[in-house]
Amino acid sequence: MFLTDEQQAILNGSKGETMAKVMKTLVMYGETFGADKMVPVTSEYNHLVTSFGLKMMTPVFDLMQQLIDAGAVSGQKFSVDPRPLDKNVPANFLQNIIFNVAMYAKQDSYEKQLNELGLMNEDAFTCACYLDQVGNKPKKGDVLSWAESSAVVYANSVLGARCNRNSGIMDIMGSIAGFVPHFGLLTDEGRKASWIIKVETTKKPEAQLLGSAIGMKVMEDVPYITGMEKWLGTELNDDNCAYLKDFGAATASNGAVGLYHIAGLTPEAQELGESLVLENAQVYVIDDAELQRVQDNYPVIWKNPDAKPKLCFVGCPHMSLQQLINWTEAVEEGLKASGNKKVQIPTVFTTAPAVKKAFEQTEYAERLKATGVILSYICPLMYMNNPLAGKMPVITCSNKLRTYTTARYYTEAQILEKITKGGN
Amino acid sequence: MMKEFKGRIVAPGTVTAPALVSHGGLNTLASFQKALQFGDKKATCGDQNNPDLYGKEMLGKALCLPQTIGSTTGGLVLYCACAMGRQPACMLFSNPIDSLAAAGSILASVWLEGVNMPVVDSLGDEFLNYVKDGMSITIKEDGTVVVEN
């Protein structure tokens, strides 16, 4: 890989041992993937995946401290994934002890580290940093050093930015150095599709189910998706962006997708059309039966598969303002139809702190509160990352949450019915 | 019976260990998080969606897989596993290595002292079709992977 004189000097130790290690990490990363050079990070902000003060991550906190002590801090401020705890989210006595003592005992000290490393502001804890209210929305063509699979796939696919599926820690290394190795999704060739996905469903496919099916099929490849125009049209409006946010999160967690193109809708597909598809691309047809097959094959690992759900999470990745409004209206209608006044299963909607504040300025906040739904900024995944969660029947319409935890997946319509009508 | 496979060395080193095979992508976060968080020294796989590995011990095994998938915490989870001495003996990829597994391996090699987790990728589909749990795997210095029945 070609290095400039400045980059080579840093690698040789001109800026100290720690910066030399940062550079060595990036060079090895690039060489593994055949990078030809380093390119500057051009986005205004970075985004980090590591927001949680989990004890198991002590080696990461030690590394972060090495960076801080050596002054190897980025000039680029960053947002970071959601906080793992919120006292408003239901938790019993034992869970609270496990959360605060056994698991997230390092949360405060880690947040201090994040501030020293360049956290944007106290509200910058969300996986959906690109939402307007949060303010970390890269421009088309920007080169990023982000991690967080759902944010990376959104930035690449919906915003047209360029970012590899960087791991946590690697995200901050690129930002500190100010450049990242040029390979994969940073290159024109790496953004071409080796799969054509033909969507032939008779109704608008559930975003997180469609994303799951595609992710499990194509793994880390780039899919070019056709047949969605009649369901989504050709405009990246609020509803479509929310749909693509949830769809992408499922492709990235159920598989390893970092970029998708949707014919006629996403920016590069609009610009370049089918020229984005590689010769000999494989074809995957998705119809109603295929989506049903995918959903039916999700394992149910509750101790009692027939248990009554004790908690419901909606909002992984974090909900947009419009989604909160839409869900508020849907829950109200569902309750009215079923003759109930409050949700029948404790339910938590999760969103970015800045979106939560904006939502609380609307009339919908009181209306949602009246339904009994709790609004929080936490990461449901981190909430469920404990041994007690396995014994707790949690339901969700997030395929990402299903993938990483014992939560059971249902479509949004199924979730709505369960929380408003009750029953198993 | 013995069969040799040739791949690309991502992290050098030699080792002999019993094989543990995942035919689907290894979700690093889902596989390691419970083991690392709650002191499981044998690193039992906690990924419910991976029927090949779920409930099996990963510590000290020659982990054979196509690639890793899922959360971009994957690399740092692997880094933590290495720092805590809970890593597989080696990782053998049938596909070219993915960015998350590569990050974990590189971070461990640059930032940790004395970690030996050889990584070989691009071993091909034939490798993953041939190798079975419990077979003896040896990685030679030149990256040749020897599988013995």
Amino acid letter, B82 = C
Report long-range pairs for A292-299 (Cβ below 8 Å, ≥24 apart).
A294/A209, A294/A212, A294/A213, A294/A216, A295/A209, A295/A409, A295/A411, A298/A402, A298/A408, A298/A409, A299/B48, A299/B49
Alpha-carbon gap, residue A166 to B120, rounded angstroms = 20
Q: Residue A382's closest chain B neighbor by CA? A: B33
- The pLDDT value recorded for residue A21 is 97
3 state DSSP class of A89 = coil
Instruction: Determine the Cα angle at A150 with ends A145 and A151, to 5°.
Output: 40
Is there a contact between A168 and B49 if contact means CB atoms under 8 Å apart? Answer: no
Question: How confident is the model over A360-373, as pLDDT tens digits?
Answer: 999 999 999 999 99
DSSP string, A119-138: B--TT-B-S-TTSTTT---P
Beta bridge partner(s), residue B27: B69
Alpha-carbon gap, residue A86 to A150, rounded angstroms = 22
- The pLDDT value recorded for residue A390 is 67
Measure B21 CA to nearest chain A CA, in Å. 18
pTM score: 0.94
Q: Would you call A149 an interface residue with chain B, using a CB distance cutoff of 8 Å? A: yes
Question: How confident is the model over A231-279, as pLDDT tens digits?
Answer: 999 999 999 999 999 999 999 999 999 999 999 999 999 999 999 999 9
Q: Residue B107's closest chain A neighbor by CA? A: A25
Measure B3 CA to nearest chain A CA, in Å. 26
Q: Give A34's pLDDT tier (boundaries 50, 70, 90).
A: very high
Alpha-carbon gap, residue A3 to A42, rounded angstroms = 18
Size of interface A-B (CB pairs under 8 A): 131
Is there a contact between A57 and B109 if contact means CB atoms under 8 Å apart? Answer: no
Share of chain A above pLDDT 90, in %: 86
Q: Give A398's pLDDT tier (boundaries 50, 70, 90).
A: very high
**A329 vs A231, A346, B145, CA distance in Å?**
21, 18, 59
Q: Which two tokens stand for residue A203?
A: 């109704």
Q: Find the length of chain A.
A: 424
B28: Cβ–Cβ under 8 A, 6 or more apart, which residues? B68, B70, B71, B73, B74, B75, B77, B78, B100, B101, B104
- The pLDDT value recorded for residue B149 is 86
Q: Would you call A408 an interface residue with chain B, using a CB distance cutoff of 8 Å? A: no
- The pLDDT value recorded for residue A402 is 93
Q: Would you call A83 an interface residue with chain B, using a CB distance cutoff of 8 Å? A: no
CB of A164 closer than 8 Å to CB of A158: no
Question: How confident is the model over A56-113, as pLDDT tens digits?
Answer: 899 999 999 999 999 999 889 999 999 988 888 888 877 888 877 777 888 899 999 9
Alpha-carbon gap, residue A246 to A65, rounded angstroms = 34
B interface residues, A as partner, C-beta within 8 Å: 10, 25, 27, 29-30, 33-34, 36-38, 48-49, 66-76, 79-80, 83-84, 97-100, 102-104, 106-107, 109-112
SS3 of A252-303? HHHCCCCCCEECCCCHHHHHHHHHHEEEEEEEEEECHHHHHHHHHCCCCCCC
ipTM score assigned to the predicted complex: 0.93
A215 pLDDT more than 70: yes
- The pLDDT value recorded for residue A150 is 97
Kindly state the DSSP code that residue B66 receives in the 8-state scheme. Answer: S
Residues of chain B with pLDDT under 70: none
Is there a contact between A57 and B76 if contact means CB atoms under 8 Å apart? Answer: yes
A412: Cβ–Cβ under 8 A, 6 or more apart, which residues? A206, A314, A397
Query: Which whole number is the average pLDDT over A112-141?
Result: 96
Alpha-carbon gap, residue A387 to B38, rounded angstroms = 8
Question: How confident is the model over A329-368, as pLDDT tens digits?
Answer: 999 999 999 999 999 999 999 999 999 999 999 999 999 9
A158 HSE (CA, 13 A, CB side): 26
- The pLDDT value recorded for residue B111 is 96
Is there a contact between B80 and A57 if contact means CB atoms under 8 Å apart? Answer: yes
A257: Cβ–Cβ under 8 A, 6 or more apart, which residues? A153, A214, A215, A218, A219, A220, A221, A222, A223, A248, A251
A157 pLDDT more than 80: yes
A41 phi, psi to nearest 5 deg: -75, 125
- The pLDDT value recorded for residue A424 is 66
Alpha-carbon gap, residue A204 to A215, rounded angstroms = 18
Is there a contact between A149 and B80 if contact means CB atoms under 8 Å apart? Answer: no
Alpha-carbon gap, residue A117 to A113, rounded angstroms = 6
Taking contacts as CB-CB distances below 8 angstroms, the residues of chain B near A256 are 25, 67-70, 98, 100
Kindly state the DSSP code that residue A391 receives in the 8-state scheme. Answer: G
Higher pLDDT, A206 or A301: A206
Q: Which residues in chain A (202-221) have CB-CB distances under 8 A to chain B? A: 215, 219-220
Kindly state the DSSP code that residue A56 receives in the 8-state scheme. Answer: G
A164 pLDDT more than 70: yes
B109: Cβ–Cβ under 8 A, 6 or more apart, which residues? A28, B11, B115
Q: Would you call A412 an interface residue with chain B, using a CB distance cutoff of 8 Å? A: no
Measure A205 CA to nearest chain B CA, in Å. 22
Domains, in order of start, for chain B? 2-148 (3.50.30.10)
CB-CB neighbours of A370 under 10 Å = 14
CB of A56 closer than 8 Å to CB of B33: yes
Query: Which whole number is the average pLDDT over A140-169?
Result: 97
B109 phi, psi to nearest 5 deg: -70, -35
